[in-house]
A and B are shown apart, each in its own frame.
Chain A
């Protein structure tokens, strides 16, 4: 019940005050966040994943004057989760299925299309994508755009001409495998992971050679150590993660082969430590009675050597997950003083409801504090590293457990946060939802869902289904929090002008003060927003802000998939809490770009 108490104090802090300007200095490591060049070449802005821009032409004072510079229809009526990229004088956007890649010429009035590339993915892939047919963005590296298609291809396209350079098929839709994540290019390797945690797909991450697309290494997240790339370098911090072949022994026989642990979220990279960090998705099926054990290495985080894939450490956010708490959220790499000592940390607002601060050299948990209502667990034991599960909220076959917070979609899902070194605050877009769950038996049939859980979601305490919370990283507590009617399913971007942008599922694109959360400006776009805002310096030297509008994703599937709100369990239970979304927005993908007059 701890979580509930916390929540009570929470609601009171809304938007009121600010940030003590203590003597903290929290900064991303310089090697992972080089000085801003005004471009936006990867969805997370930099390897540290700060989503922070040093551009400061748009400020708290003048943001109210923002106007539309140009718009562009993506021609796709599904959820637009991608971040636009800007490199040189060109903007690149990748759409949801059918994953069209557009290049827009920023030097000309209205930013006309330079070229488009249509990969023509297999239409059948749409049937095996768990939660709308989204794509979370592309990445630029040395003259090429890299992106993934829903039907399991990674493609390199020449950034200047739009001509394909290579195309590697790495996912198999016939076992339910799709790709929705944005790749990250590190040291000439394109890092890609699969989706399919709801289809019994065994999770992996691969490194493809950026030059010719061949697979350099593959690391699975379940199974024998040799396939997980666990070797002599593997030094997990906690005893619970030590032992031989835990990816096999922490499962019933053979269950690891269809056990999930997918990599459909975010990857960060620390060049100094030569480590990449990536989360792993939920174990499958959702019904925990069907997979007794800790289910390694699902719902956790790996640090790996980008050259070989070799695992360095692992930490499991949610051992033996009971509620679909995928561990794939973004990790922001920061250097800070923690309890008097300089530490290399990563901060992670996690699906299970806690903001974690980890030592990124070892995987040690420095702190874990809930950032909203949590009753499925009561805390994290910092000695053992283990999440303390609330037995009252344990799910299983044949019983209905009510009012579990957070939901399967988590206190926060994939929607990435942003960190401003100017305020020391992490801006977290998130949900405020609870759910009822009933475990049921399920047959594994390759290429069909493997879930075994009936779910019905409801609004969380207070009734606001979403929130935008500024988290004081040094103090490990919220500075302020804004309530939103619908889940905040969009990402955030923070700027040196002390303005933070995010979007709502009604379609409002909002600018708030980075210090106080005060609403400074808003613009109503044509559809609900679930995309990732970015900001860049245009060819004219001025600062622009861009966002893709177009509702969908798991939360918006009721609109983008035209689902029937009379079925409480539709879209894995999400529809029950989004019944009114059809009354306020319609589908339609459009790019909006803003600037000062």
Chain B
């Protein structure tokens, strides 16, 4: 045992890198399958209940392929028409630290799937569920909430801002931008 500690370590590294590199190139095409609830508030009368994380969250959140797919879909489904490249327009900014409906990937997934009352459309019948997860993961990257090793590293179009892997965590910016 333990004859090759470096081997083991590098094997672990490879495994970790695998998570980043994993490619689920054929996302499930079924529409709107995920229906888990996502709370929009931290207020819970009677004391906080444990939050359950959707098991898809982990699959999509730190994965470079899914994040880059999310970036592509963000234009493809006209998210960018309303939110620009994260700075906002018809819809609110998504690259800042202000969240109306929660910053967790589950909350963002629910936002995209079900819509929100003041003008966020519901994409439930337009975007397959796995692609909604990809979009949700990418939205988090806009405010610096994705590992820089996995977040998209380049802009193919006229540069709106530094690429997502270099965007700071909006929560630590200190003041409203």
| A residues adjacent to B (C-beta < 8 A) | 123-131, 198, 400, 436, 438, 440, 442-443, 445, 447-451, 454, 456, 557, 561-572, 575
Q: Which residue from chain B places its CB closest to the CB of A126 in the assembled complex?
A: B119
- Partner pick for A124 among B76, B77, B118, B159, CB 8 A cutoff: B118
For the complex, what is the distance from the CA of A436 to the CA of B75, rounded to whole Å?
19
B42 CB–A CB distance under 8 Å: no
Q: Which of B92, B117, B159 contacts A123 (CB 8 A)?
A: B117
Instruction: Identify 17 residue pairs between A and B in the complex whose beta-carbon atoms are under 8 Å apart, listed by A's number.
Output: A123-B119, A124-B118, A124-B119, A126-B119, A127-B82, A127-B119, A128-B119, A448-B77, A448-B121, A449-B78, A449-B82, A454-B160, A557-B89, A564-B88, A565-B177, A566-B95, A566-B177
Q: A450-B81, A451-B81 are in contact. Are A564 and B119 (CB under 8 A)?
A: no
> Binding site of A, secondary structure by majority: helix, strand, loop or mixed?
loop
For the complex, give the distance between the alpha carbons of A313 and B34 in Å.
Answer: 56
Question: How distant is the Cα of A440 from the Cα of B158 in the complex, in angstroms?
Answer: 10
CA distance A355 to B10 in the complex (A): 71
Specify which chain B residues have a CB less than 8 angstroms from the CB of A450 in the assembled complex.
Answer: 78, 81
Q: Choose among B86, B90, B161 the residue that contacts A129 (Cβ–Cβ < 8 A).
A: B90
* B159 to A: closest C-beta gap in Å: 7
Q: How far is A268 from B45 in the complex, measured between Cα atoms in Å?
A: 59
**Category for how many chain B residues contact A:** 20 to 34
B35 CB, min distance to chain A CBs, angstroms: 22
Task: Write out, one digit per residue, whether chain B residues 57-94 have a CB within 8 A of any chain A CB (1) or not (0).
Answer: 00000000000000000011110011011111111110
Contact call A570/B157, Cβ cutoff below 8 A: no
B154 interface residue, CB < 8 Å from A?
no
Residue in A449, A561, A562, A569 whose CB lies within 8 Å of B85: A569
* Contact in complex: B119, A570 (CB < 8 Å): no
B56 at the interface (CB under 8 A from A): no
The dominant DSSP class at the B interface is loop
For the complex formed, measure the closest distance between the CB of B115 and the CB atoms of chain A, giving whole angstroms. Answer: 8
B158 with A567: CB separation less than 8 A: no
Collect the chain A residues with CB atoms within 8 Å of residue B81's CB: 198, 442, 448-451
CB distance from B96 to the nearest CB of A (A): 5
B77, B81, B118: residue with the most chain A Cβ atoms closer than 10 Å: B81
Residues of B within 8 A of A (CB): 75-78, 81-82, 84-93, 95-96, 98, 117-121, 126, 157-161, 176-177
- Considering the chains assembled together, what is the distance between the CA atoms of A445 and B122 in angstroms? 12
* Chain B min CB distance to A532 (Å): 24
| Structural contact, B119 and A442, CB atoms closer than 8 A | no
Q: Are A123 and B87 also in contact (CB < 8 A) when A438-B158, A566-B161 are?
A: no
Q: Assess the A572–B89 pair: CB atoms within 8 A.
A: yes
Report B-chain residues with C-beta under 8 Å of the C-beta of A454. Answer: 157-158, 160
Contacts of A447 in B (CB 8 A): 121
Residues of B within 8 A of A561 (CB): 88-89, 92-93
Alpha-carbon separation in the docked complex, A568 to B80 (Å):
13
Nearest CB in chain A: distance from B33 CB, A: 21
Do the beta carbons of A564 and B93 come within 8 Å of each other?
yes
Instruction: Determine how close the nearest CB of chain A comes to the CB of B53; give it in whole angstroms.
Output: 28
- Cβ contact within 8 Å between B76 and A570: no
Measured CA separation A198–B84 after assembly (Å): 13
Given A127-B118, A454-B160, the answer on whether A569 and B84 have CB atoms closer than 8 Å is yes
What's the nearest-Cβ distance from chain A to residue B119, in Å?
2
Assuming the contacts A127-B120, A456-B158, A568-B160, asked whether A440 and B75 have C-beta atoms less than 8 A apart, the reply is: yes
Shortest distance from the beta carbon of A450 to any chain B beta carbon, whole Å: 7
- Check B89–A563 contact: CB distance below 8 A: yes
Contact A448 B78 (CB under 8 A): yes
B90 close to A449 (CB less than 8 A): yes
Return the contact of B126 from the options A130, A445, A564 (Cβ within 8 A): A445
B117 to chain A: closest residue by CB: A123
Complex: chain A residue closest to B155, CB-CB = A454
